Structure 1
Amino acid sequence: MGHDRVRDALRIRQGLDPDTKPTKVFRPRPDEFPVGPHSKSNAAKQLVGTGEKLDKLQEALFASGTNSVLLVLQGMDTSGKGGTIRHACGLLNPQGLHIHSFKKPTRAELRHDFLWRIRRALPPPGMIGVFDRSHYEDVLIARVENLVSEDVWRGRYAQINAFERELTAAGTVVVKFFLHISPEAQRKRLEDRLLRPEKHWKYNPADLDARAKWDDYQAAYAEALVQTDSDNAPWYVVPSDHKWYRNWAVSEILLETLQDLGPKYPEPDFDVDEELAKLRA
């Protein structure tokens, strides 16, 4: 495709109408390799170099304590949010990670605005935050399952955009991933969970209820992505039928994001030569 950067290849298409069909928004397809390696072995080799680069950039980010990075992971059940954290984010130093998984809101959380619990989980300066699900559940599941009225969830698009602009202005780099999986791949992964006793804990009968509403969820995702994609908080569509490609793509986009941010080590507030002399004495 001639893309120099992974971000250019996987960024959702610009200028789409909110009513555009999901097939137009979710490009590339879940089984495509539009950029980068075409095999698991080559991806594994590249991840080694990516990990080394990420290590240096993450340390500089942590040391500077100026900016933070927030990775938002969204996708249908079995799309690999947990796997992405384990493998792609596993290239990072866990001391510099701030991971939060959002479940069904508690009674206490429901007494507040939907962004209240999100704000409480934001990464502090110097950290890389990872959201397993996020504030987008409030325009996805809330829409499909009719948890709130249409005027409420539609109004949340503007609230989310304003919130993410606020984060950017405060020094947080927001990067959002839609882990794009096909219904065929999801069926195989759900079946695998049922056939392997050690995977039973990951299976939830409610997953089949959501699967039965596949088209409704795809429409909800499509509109959410189009309505909330921006240069300050971009959406990337990551083909996720192949786990190795998903992990490679997310790690590369994180690397490109940190390289553009260019974190710098802070200047010492002491005289280096003087300290060396004291030490050697």
Structure 2
Amino acid sequence: MDAIKTSDYRVDSAIRLSNVPTLNNLNATDDALKEHLKDLRKKLGKFQDIVYAHGKYSVLICIQGIDTAGKDSLIREVFKDFNSRGVVVHSFKVPTDLERKHDYLWRHYIALPARGKFGVFNRTHYENVLVTRVHPEYLLGENLPEINSVEDVTDAFWHQRFEQIKNFEKHIAENGTIIFKFFLHLSKDEQKNRLLRRLNLEEKNWKFSPADLKERALWDDYQKYYEEAINVTSTRKAPWYIIPADNKKSARVIVADILYDELKKYKDVEYPELAPEIKEHLNQYKNQLNQE
């Protein structure tokens, strides 16, 4: 299997999505990918346990991708060996009435992982510069000052929103949140295959909506705005990683490998030391229990 080099996927300079591959099988069989992912899951699960005990960092994993990119199954498979007390997954849907009464970052802020925990955002705060960019009429539901019609939504508005998002990420990073942002990069042909699968397999029918085809017709717009959002907001403390997503199994391995490769750099994350007065009497406590 090909070695996975994190820097090959991290966005450190301006990219063109059309030039980034959507497929990387890592020259591995499905069985080899499955075994490698199993090994990475165990390592990540162990690290999560130490993060929980250490209690000084939190980890935020943001997963974005167009419909059928494989977000749900990636989350299911990559985090399978995590202790449920240490990881929380949030799937952000259309904002509720309560959420619309707050600023657009509010619902994401209150869902941030506590110190010692991992948080996974399935769709993220970037929906507010992606879906709303393709459908600016959605912004009218936010009841924003000075935005009374689509014509009021200018380039300056989007620039301001990008800056707000970067400031949000800068703030939480400076306060102990380790941030990963993954874009699952799917080809249009593969999306077609996955939509057809939803239609052809009865057990997958429930996943299909006619709206999927309406959004697919806007493919070029989504690619354009994803590209801009990634280029503008990939920073040292909150980098974007572009993951080839046409092969779900290899995409999961790449994400898991990047997570472990980056997290193991945090050498200060370790189990806390026992208080000297407790450590000194460990044998006494053992004897006390054994004599019951």
Q: Same fold (TM over 0.5)?
A: yes
Question: Take 1:57 and 1:244, find their aligned partners in 2: how far apart are those partners?
Answer: 22
**1:123-134 maps to which residues of 2 (within 5 A)?**
123-134=113-124
2:35 corresponds to? 45
Check whether the contact 2:54–2:270 (CA below 8 A) recurs between aligned residues: yes
Q: Secondary structure at the match of 1:11?
A: coil
Question: Take 2:16 and 2:47, find their aligned partners in 1: how far apart are those partners?
Answer: 38
Find the partner of 1:32 among 20, 24, 43. 24
Greater mean deviation of Cα atoms: 245-254 or 216-225: 245-254
Question: Take 2:163 and 2:274, find their aligned partners in 1: how far apart are those partners?
Answer: 42
2:76 corresponds to? 86
Task: Report the CA distance between 1:5 and its aligned residue.
Answer: 5.3
Percent of residue pairs identical: 37
Q: TM-score, structure 1 length as denominator?
A: 0.91
Q: 1:144 to 1:54 in 2, by over 3 A?
A: same
**1:203-218 maps to which residues of 2 (within 5 A)?**
203-218=208-223
Larger radius of gyration: 2
Question: Take 1:240 and 1:126, find their aligned partners in 2: how far apart are those partners?
Answer: 30
Check whether the contact 1:73–1:178 (CA below 8 A) recurs between aligned residues: yes
1:11 corresponds to? 10
Question: Take 1:59 and 1:271, find their aligned partners in 2: how far apart are those partners?
Answer: 22
Amino acid at match of 2:163: A
Q: Secondary structure at the match of 2:243?
A: strand
1:233 corresponds to? 238
Amino acid at match of 2:18: T
Find the partner of 1:258 among 259, 263, 270. 263
* Corresponding pairs, count: 270
2:99 corresponds to? 109
User: CA RMSD of the aligned region, Å?
Assistant: 1.7
Greater mean deviation of Cα atoms: 144-153 or 178-187: 144-153
Matched, 1:272 2:264: no
Task: Report the CA distance between 1:162 and its aligned residue.
Answer: 0.6
Amino acid at match of 1:258: L
Amino acid at match of 1:15: S
Q: Secondary structure at the match of 1:126?
A: coil
Question: Take 2:16 and 2:22, find their aligned partners in 1: how far apart are those partners?
Answer: 16
Greater mean deviation of Cα atoms: 118-127 or 147-156: 147-156
Check whether the contact 2:45–2:83 (CA below 8 A) recurs between aligned residues: yes
1:75-112: CA deviation from partner (whole Å, max 9, x where unpaired): 00000110111111223222211110000111111111
Question: Take 1:185 and 1:5, find their aligned partners in 2: how far apart are those partners?
Answer: 23
2:160 corresponds to? 155
Q: TM-score, structure 2 length as denominator?
A: 0.88
1:211-235: CA deviation from partner (whole Å, max 9, x where unpaired): 0000000000000000000110000
Q: 1:61 to 1:222 in 2, by over 3 A?
A: same
Find the partner of 1:143 among 128, 133, 136. 133
Gaps of 5+ in 2: 140-152
1:110-143: CA deviation from partner (whole Å, max 9, x where unpaired): 1111111110100001111100001000000000
Question: Take 2:177 and 2:227, find their aligned partners in 1: how far apart are those partners?
Answer: 25
Question: Take 2:234 and 2:249, find their aligned partners in 1: how far apart are those partners?
Answer: 26
